[in-house]
Amino acid sequence: MYLDPVLMIAVPLFAAFLIPILGKINKNIAKYVPVLVIGFNLYEAVMLLPVSMIKPVIVIIAAWRPPLGINLTIGPLGNMLALIISLVGFIVSIYNIKFVEEEPNEKFHMLFMLLVAGATGMVLTGDIFNLFVFLEITSISSYALTAFIRHRDSAEAAFKYLVIGSISSTFVLLGVALIYATTGTLNMADIAQKIQSVDPKIAVTAMILLVTGFGVEAEMFPLNGWAPDAYSQAPTPVSAAFGGIVVKAGMYGLARLIFTIFNFHGIFYFLLIMGIITLLIAEMSALRQKQIKRMLAFSSIGQMGLVMMALGLATQEGVVGGLFQMFNHAIIKPLLFLSAGYLVFYSGSKNIEDLDGMGRLKPLTSFFFAFGAFAIMGLPPFSGFWSKLIIISETIRNGFVVLAALALIGSVIEAVYYLRVVGRLYFKKPHEGERTHYVHPTAIVAMTLLTLIVLFVGLYPDFLMTYLKPAAAELLNKSAYIKDVLTAGL
Amino acid sequence: MNTIPLILLLLFGSALLAYFVGKINFVLKVGIALAGLLVSSYFFLTLYGLSEKFIFHLAGFELTWQINSLSWFFGMLIFGLGILVAIYSTVYMRGKERVDFYCFALCTTIASMFGIVVSGDLLSFFFFWEIMTWSSFLLVIYYRYEAQTAGIKYFVMSAIGAYSMLIAILMIYARLGSFSFQALSAGWQGFSLGTQIAIIILFVMAFGVKAAMMPLHTWAPEAYAISPSSFTSLFSGVLSKMGIYGFVLLFYVFSAGKLSASFVDIHGTSLPGYILAWFGALSALIATLIAIVQDDAKKLLAYSSVGQLGYIILGLGLGSSIGVSGALFHAVNHTIFKGMLFLAVGAVFYRTGTRKFSELGGLISRMPYTFFVVLLGIITIAGIPPLSGFGSKWLIYEAIIQKKMVFLAVVTFAASTASFMYCYRLIFGIFLGQRDEKYDDVKEVPWAMRGPMLLLSLFTIYLGFYPYHLLNLIAEVEKTVLGIHPFAYGQSVLFSRFGSVDTMTVMNVVAVVFVIVFVLFSLLYKRSRKVGLKDIHTSGEIPGEEINLHYAIDFYQPFSRGVGAVLKRSADRLYMNFASNMEGLFDMMRYIYTGNGQTYVMYVIVFLAFVLAFSSWLI
Amino acid sequence: MIYYVAAFSLILIGTYAVLVKKNMVKIVLGLSLIDSGVNILLISLGYIKGKTAPIFSTPALKAQNMVDPIPQALVLTAIVIGLAVTALALTIVIRLYDHHKTLDISKIRELKW
């Protein structure tokens, strides 16, 4: 039985600000709060799933029925994404228990919880201004988390991220203002209904402003300048959370805008082309990176390009493929980041060169990294295979054979640079030098969980597909969405 | 329960079990792997002659696993050599590190190959194909340090092949809405000519890479040379056959033999088949020439493998019953003799630690069994009666002659003749000539390694006597699956229009001659004088430093000088140059990310302005 | 109308500062300016000349005589967010200055390519 879905946002927010107080009492309690709270979110998301699959759960706050008031709209899509976010958040917070030993410890957990709360809010809300607010909560906590390590590069990365991020959120706000000025409403379903009668020139301007704003979080080229720096300089769990949480929420915003709110078909072609450009440029840039986390960041951008391409197809199967790829990326990229971060931590250097011979020194972690690399390349029987297969299949079915071929070229490049790193882990002789001998059982638990999910989904994709299909249908069938929201509470 | 999933489950299960439980001790890991193989091959044998189907749904796609005579035929090769290799590994891998990893990858490879042959649809075919690629990649990189470049090259070429196959598969799916072979063969003729050509080219890319067809072979020599010998025999013997299996599917199952409906015929062969035949023939010739000048025994065998697979591809391309039978027969022979030879070279490596001819020599008295195996192997490879290699080559020649393809015949005969040279080099370099003192106390390998090699030798002798046992099987495949009317053959007679050859007679003649010579030799032996290996006569002169006394160094020097110019043009170097140039080009991309925050903001603003300027296109 | 002009000129000036000025404090100021511009824009969307605040203090007041309250609520939120961003940005600038001893953004580009 599920509790009020508002708690999915309220509890992390409340707990986030409770942590500093708890930290005053006992330092150790603060560590376990995120696990419990995000675990609660996970429980909620799982329990909501069967309900929202049948009919979206509309939460009316303070008896203001939509289109008035702020409401949460938990359809299959929002629920799936909330599930992804809380799943990744949960696993990463398990990893955090031991990994984040640096001071100020509580602040890290607080910001992390804010990040999860913001992202969950983004995917659950039914109100466009609320979407903006949660976007800001997510990004501000991301900026702060990027700068968390007191290192000159972290501050630099955070500043770049902040400048790009706040410019883009200004665009979002402008877009929202434009929409409000023309439709007089902030409820997304209501906007979707009323936008038909708005001058298309104004509507398309609003859409472009919003797409640019969310495109920054969704790592669309050329808006993704922040990503390589932020991913590589943030603490490892935060990099994992970027890949698994922030980007997913941004992509959700993008998808919700172009599918539900606006009604322009040209944007889908645009997304298709931007997707393939993003994919290719990112994969090419990743090819000769020297730092492992930077390489993973580019790989992450590339994966999001694939998702954009899939969403740009705007067919049921294509969107299912895109969402599937989002899920896979949300699981596999944290696995890669967590294992790479662990190796970086162990070797004391971020450079790929210094990871030589880690397969011998840290067999289990290296195995996790290699496993993740195989999974993200899309090899069977891991989960990445199915999503790539569906996306490429749907691309070809829609007649874009050249795009499919280009995406596969990207995959070949991906294979090259991942195998190079895996090769270094296993085939080079380890360097001499000081190593920190430090075992984190919780890190191993987190990575094992991710590995098991990858394997399970890879062997039995239908389990996930049953939930992704309604989610894709929700995006494609906007009139049902409008009807569900506007008749809620009657 | 259905048998096919049971076998697959057993194989994959034993792979995982060998990995995890096998951490305990050596016997357990190899034991589990071997037991899994034996049990599953028992189930496999029960499938003989049946045609089972197992249909299920996964991720919204309908998948079919089926067994028919064709898949049984290739399954037989997989399990036959697989078990022998596993037995051989019990000794060969002993004392090596990461045996659990080896067992895991070996079982997974075998399982995925079996998965390929029982796939009844393109998707599961591709699924298992990819598993086969990465699991064999894991085995190629088993010896860590040296193997990295070879491994990545193998993987990347396989990936390019696999992805082009994926495009072809999905093109078919987009048109037919189904992955199954049946739907494909029914719908093949509905495709436009352009589509047919694209599909054939894309599939040939994939299968050509795995079957090491020239010019897609460049991964093979290094990957073969670097992988553990026990696996190499499986790699060359069976895994490359998956490419052959793919060609069989492409030309006779997917297109249901209707290729000539849309393409011109040349000498009674459809154009794609004709081109393929030429690719095969040229592979055979060029690879043979390159094989001759190799110093590394495994590289020699690798190139020889490329050449022999060329014959098989040639036979398949010709398309007549006799050609296809020859190809399938040769496929079996190739599995047997390449299995034997790689295992034998592995055995030599096991005892001496080297594979270089220039360091070996004179091992005949130390490793007589291995010598015997290599002798039989090269007789088979050269296609000399009475062993089985003769039959298959005979059929392929016969097919070429029947089609009156003069040039093809010339190339093929040249290749065949040239292959004697590397055969001789192989046996001479290792077993004849002078022996280095450090190998004086080399012993024969243990029985667990000798056994598989000798068993394979028995097979080649047996098939030399009774080729019709195998031909029956092939005829069955042609009748039921390939839709080809099998040609006529007798109990032990191979017909051709110039006459026939009775393998029985040949074998008897050889046996009689052998016995006579043997008896004569034994009688006269007492009067001969024994000469030591090092007893080299230099006509009274004292040999200087510059005089080469080890025969295996600069073996075939005049030949190398003669063909050296041709061999310099290597496809490998071409690809590597192309790859590094592309990499340099791709690498320019990352300079977009200048590191200046303001530039990134500029990108955002420019992007916004640009899209706003063209916003009318979005409406 | 004047509000719109003011709003857009603020946004443009802010964008100019972010794009052209090398000093990071000025960039942060530019971000703040953009923020203020958008806030003014939002407020002016709901503002109707001659109408009163949307509070039903006396029964005589009718809804059609009031300005739109929602933009004001939105702007309040946006101001708070802007404040948070500015504060965080300045913190990071201080830290950058500590490390690099410069405020020139074009000199701080250790992370590139």
Instruction: Count Cβ–Cβ pairs < 8 Å, chain A vs chain B.
Output: 167
pLDDT in tens, A299-325: 999 999 999 999 998 888 889 999 999
Residue type, B150: A
| pLDDT value at residue A332 | 92
Is the peptide bond between A381 and the residue preceding it cis, with omega within 30 degrees of 0? yes
Percent of chain B with pLDDT over 90: 0
Q: How far is CA B179 from the centre of its chain?
A: 27
**Nearest CA to B467 among B543, B406, B380?**
B380
Mean pLDDT of the A46-60 span = 84
Which residues lie closer than 8 Å to C106 by C-beta, 6 or more apart?
B596, B598, C22
Task: Evaluate whether A421 touches A295 at the Cβ level (below 8 Å).
Answer: yes
C109 and B605: CB-CB below 8 Å? no
Greater pLDDT, A420 or B563: A420
Residue A196 or B364, more confident = A196
Does residue B330 lie within any of the structural domains? yes
pLDDT digits over B431-470, tens only? 777 777 777 777 777 787 888 888 888 888 888 777 777 8
Rounded to 5 degrees, what are φ and ψ at B502?
A: -105, 110
| pLDDT band with cut points at 50, 70 and 90 for residue B472 | confident
- Chain C residues with beta carbon closer than 8 angstroms to that of A286: none
Sort out which chain B residues have CB atoms less than 8 A from C93's CB and list them. Answer: none
Q: How far is C24 from chain A (nearest CA, A)?
A: 9
Nearest CA in chain B to C20: B598
Q: Is residue B388 one of the residues assigned to a domain?
A: yes
Contacts of B598 in chain C (CB under 8 A): 18-20, 22, 27, 105-106
> What pLDDT does B538 receive?
62
Q: Distance (Å, rounded) from C-alpha B170 to C-alpha A250?
A: 31
Cβ–Cβ below 8 Å for B598 and C15: no
For residue A118, the model assigns a pLDDT of: 92
Confidence of residue A101 (pLDDT cuts 50, 70, 90): low
Strands A71-74 and A57-60: antiparallel
Minimum distance, in Å, between the CA of residue A207 and any CA atom of chain B: 10
Contact B590 C106 (CB under 8 A): no
Residues for chain A: how many in total?
A: 490
Contact C77 A129 (CB under 8 A): yes
Give me the pLDDT at residue A90, please. 92
Determine the pLDDT at residue A252. Answer: 92
User: Mean pLDDT over residues A331-356, rounded?
Assistant: 85
Residues B323-338 have pLDDT tens digits of 888 888 888 888 888 8
Segment B105-141, tens digit of pLDDT: 888 888 898 889 888 888 889 999 989 888 888 888 8
Cis-peptide, bond into residue A104, ω within 30° of zero: yes
The Cα–Cα gap between A216 and C15 comes to: 17
A140 neighbourhood in chain C, CB within 8 Å: 81, 84-85, 88
Q: Is the pLDDT of residue A68 over 80?
A: no
In this prediction, residues A219-224 reach a mean pLDDT of: 86
pLDDT value at residue A1: 72
pLDDT number for residue B546: 60
pLDDT at res. B500: 66
**Residue A75 structure tokens:** 């359809």
Per the rule left: phi > 0, alpha: psi between -120 and 50, beta: everything else, B178 is: beta
Is residue C112 in a domain? no
> Which residue of C lies nearest to A139 if distances are taken between CA atoms?
C85
Residue B45 binned pLDDT confidence (cut-offs 50, 70, 90): confident
Is ipTM beyond 0.90? yes
For residues B150 and B220, give the distance between their C-alpha atoms in angstroms, rounded to a whole number.
Answer: 9
Average pLDDT of every residue of chain A:
86
Distance CA B66, CA B2 (A): 10
Residue of A274, A264, A393, A322 whose CA lies nearest to A77? A322
Task: Using CB atoms, list chains with 3+ pairs below 8 Å to chain A.
Answer: B, C
Looking at CA atoms only, how far is residue C68 from chain A in angstroms? 10
- For A461, which of B58, B134, B147 is closest by C-beta distance? B58
For residue C29, tell me if it sits in a domain. yes
Domain termination site, one of B524, B551, B586: B524
Residue C18 domain-assigned (yes or no): yes
Q: Which domain holds residue B163?
A: 1-187
d(C-alpha A12, C-alpha A8), whole Å: 7
Chain B interface includes C110 (CB < 8 A): yes
pLDDT at A327: 92
Tell me which of C81, C103, C108 to substitute to probe the interface with A (most A C-beta atoms closer than 10 Å).
Answer: C81
CATH code of C72's domain: 1.10.287.3510
In a domain, B85, yes or no: yes
Chain-chain contact of C109 with B590 (C-beta, under 8 angstroms)? no
Q: What is the largest distance, in Å, between two alpha-carbon atoms of chain C?
A: 66
Query: How large a percentage of chain A has pLDDT more than 90?
Result: 19
Question: How many domains does chain B contain in total?
Answer: 2
Alpha helices (H) in A147-265, listed in sequence order: 152-183, 188-194, 200-217, 226-233, 236-241, 247-255
- One-letter identity of residue A208: I
What's the rounded Cα separation, in Å, for the pair B41 and B10?
Answer: 10
Q: Chain A residues with CB-CB distance to C under 8 A?
A: 129, 133, 136, 140, 143-144, 147, 150, 152-153, 155-160, 162-163, 166-167, 169-170, 173-174, 176-177, 180-181, 186, 228-229, 232-233, 285
Are A396 and B170 within 8 A, CB to CB?
yes
Q: Which residues does A317 contact at the CB level (< 8 Å), separation at least 6?
A: A390, A393, A394, A397, B60
Residue B382's alpha-carbon distances to A259, B264, B390, B466, in angstroms, are 67, 34, 8, 19
Predicted confidence (pLDDT) at residue A222 exceeds the cutoff of 60: yes
Query: Among residues 107-136 of chain B, which lie with CB inside 8 Å of chain A?
Result: 123, 127-128, 130-131, 133-134
Q: Which residue range is the domain that position C89 belongs to?
A: 2-107
More confident residue, A362 or C26: C26
Angle made by CA atoms A373, A375, A381, in degrees to the nearest 5: 145
Q: Where are the domains of chain A?
A: 275-459
User: What residues form DSSP beta bridges with B64?
Assistant: B55
**pLDDT exceeds 60 at position B480:** yes
Gap between the Cα atoms of A43 and A39, Å rounded: 6
Any residues with CB less than 8 A from the CB of A155 and at least 6 apart, and which? A147, C92, C95, C96, C99
Lowest mean pLDDT among B147-156, B524-533, B586-595, C10-19: B524-533
Q: Quick check: A204 and B619 CB within 8 A?
A: yes
* B597-613 vs C2-20: helix crossing angle, rounded to 10: 140
Cβ <8 Å between C18 and B598: yes
Which residue has tokens 């203002």?
A: A177
Residues A186 and B427: their CA atoms lie apart, in Å, by 84
**pLDDT tens-digit readout, B576-619:** 788 888 888 888 888 888 878 888 888 898 999 988 888 888 77
d(CA B390, CA B401): 16
Mean pLDDT of chain C: 84
Interface list for chain B against chain C, based on CB atoms closer than 8 Å: 590-591, 593-598, 601-602, 605
Which residues of chain C make contact with B601, given a CB cutoff of 8 A?
A: 18-19
Which chain A residues are Cβ-neighbours of B148 within 8 angstroms? 423, 427
Residues of A in contact with C91 (CB under 8 A): 147
pLDDT at B497 over 60: no
Whole-number Cα distances in Å, B99 to A16, B31, B89? 49, 12, 10
Q: What is the per-residue pLDDT across A448-475, written as a single tens digit (0 to 9) for each?
A: 899 999 989 888 888 888 888 888 888 8
Which pLDDT band, with edges at 50, 70 and 90, does B498 fall under?
Answer: low
Q: Say how many residues make up chain B.
A: 619
Nearest-neighbour CA in chain A from C70: distance (Å): 9
**Is residue A183 within 8 Å of B578, Cβ to Cβ?**
no
Least confident of A191-205, A342-356, A433-447, B440-454: A433-447
pLDDT over 80 at A76, yes or no:
yes
In a domain, B488, yes or no: yes
What letter would DSSP give residue B481? I
Q: Assess if residue C78 is contained within a domain.
A: yes
Structural domain count, chain C: 1
Q: Please judge whether B59 and A419 are an interchain contact, meaning their C-beta atoms are less than 8 angstroms apart.
A: no
pLDDT over 70, % of chain B: 88
Query: What residues in C contact A229, CB-CB < 8 Å?
Result: 111
Task: Pick the last residue of a domain from B187, B220, B240.
Answer: B187
C113 is a domain residue: no
